[in-house]
Amino acid sequence: MARYILSQKCIFRFSQGYNNSQRLSVSTNFPTTNVIHDRQNQRFTVTLDCGGALSSAVLKYTLSQDQQVELISTEVPESHRGKGVAAHLAKAALDFVVEENLTARISCWYIRKYVDENPHLGYQAYIEDE
């Protein structure tokens, strides 16, 4: 069942899925945001509906046989950039790494920035430095 939340002339359409908003500590312009974790396709997504057109913000990763996650990229539609959507994706992916007791390599500049700007969240202990 999908939920809709109205925010700043945009409607967020959320399906059931990964929701880790209770621990979210980033400041964003959006209300509680459901991030969907699609393990089969190795990605986290937020579906956005703004002005009747659906679009998605996506964080892509790979998971190796030795239980290491590579956080590859974060893509947010231009109309939603700077509004905290990427922070929700980064937090969900990093919480996944912590909850599954994995290690992560970061290839995405935004996720690296998020980890560096939020040392109080403790993600650095799970990051493999290159």
Domain interval for residue 54: 3-126
Tell me the pLDDT of the chain (130 aa) as tens digits: 333 333 333 434 433 343 443 333 333 445 456 899 999 999 999 998 777 788 899 999 999 999 999 999 999 998 888 989 999 999 999 999 999 999 999 999 999 999 999 999 999 999 998 6
- Between CA 20 and CA 112 the distance in angstroms is 20
Q: Residue 57 is part of a domain; what is its CATH number?
A: 3.40.630.30
Closest to 49 in 3D by CA, of 75, 77, 27: 77
Q: What's the total number of domains in the chain?
A: 1
CA distances from 81 to 68, 121, 122 (A): 28, 23, 25
DSSP 105: E
Model confidence over 76-96: pLDDT tens digits?
998 888 989 999 999 999 999
